[in-house]
Amino acid sequence: MNNKEIKIQINHITKVFEIGKGNTTIALDDIDLSIFKEEFVCIVGPSGCGKSTLLYLIASLDQPTSGQILVEGDLVTKPNPKVGMVFQPDSVFPWLTVKKNIEFGPSIRGVPAEECNRISENYVNIVGLKGFEESFPRQLSGGMKKRVDVARAFANNPEILLMDEPFGALDAMTKEKLQIELLRIWDSERKTVAFVTHDLEEALVLGSRIVVMGRAPNKILTILDVPFTRPRDLILKTSVEFQKLRRQLWELLQV
């Protein structure tokens, strides 16, 4: 892994939030992490350990108190078009159809209309929304809206995709379906992905490595290599090795 190209370099990142009347809380405490090209890194840990904060700093939606983050060797100081983000809440535009939601990013970047149409058709097919191109978000289920979110993020063609518990609010069956869709898209496009989740099984199904974070202090406890070959499917969950690794993760998070 060490001979691969580093896409994201996180050096001694600390983030302190003011919580009123001169009080502060440490969201991240001296975080060091390298994420490599085409790697799918999952970040797990208890609530409040700084997982989402770390993604926001990589995306430059907030700034660290100290330390630095580099994307492809460049210091992160402002949002980067090479970096896309999918949030847990639905972020589809309610006034746009599925097709227009997916075309939105490419269109504002000046991509010609014909190419925007080709991009939207491609991702509508990839995420399984054929026949719903002219539907509005109010006409879609939660899982379908999340498919639009994912399609829109990939349609922008970012080199790095940050995903903050994107399937966290979905029921178990819908979540598993979208995990498989995401694996399929990633297998074909090989974006660099940092994926925050509370779900240990989700992390093991998706991730190449799993970053395990602890609470108070909010540090990285360990980084676990996931040994399963790709492409993957949910049958993985029935294997003895999968359950052993899940138990190992669970025990790490009890510290």
Q: What would the pLDDT profile of 144-154 be if each residue is shown by its tens digit?
A: 999 899 899 89
Confidence bin at 168 (pLDDT 50/70/90) = confident
* Strand ranges inside 20-170, DSSP E: 24-36, 40-44, 66-71, 74-75, 83-86, 160-164
pLDDT greater than 90 at residue 32: yes
Find the domain containing 151 and state its range: 91-157
- Position 2 scores a pLDDT of 55
- Position 215 scores a pLDDT of 87
Q: Based on the domain organization, do 150 and 166 belong to the same domain?
A: no
User: Which residue among 117, 142, 157 closes a domain?
Assistant: 157
When pLDDT is averaged across residues 130-141 and rounded to a whole number, the result is: 94
Q: Based on the domain organization, do 100 and 176 belong to the same domain?
A: no
Domains in the chain: how many in total? 2
Q: Based on the domain organization, do 78 and 171 belong to the same domain?
A: yes
- Position 1 scores a pLDDT of 46
What are the distances in angstroms from CA 222 to CA 27, 202, 214? 18, 18, 9
SS3 216: coil
User: Which residue among 157, 180, 213 closes a domain?
Assistant: 157
pLDDT greater than 60 at residue 156: yes
pLDDT tens for residues 63-108? Answer: 999 999 999 999 999 988 889 999 887 888 999 999 999 999 899 8
Q: Based on the domain organization, do 142 and 171 belong to the same domain?
A: no
Q: Based on the domain organization, do 150 and 169 belong to the same domain?
A: no
> At which residue do the structure tokens 């990633």 appear?
186
Q: Based on the domain organization, do 62 and 120 belong to the same domain?
A: no
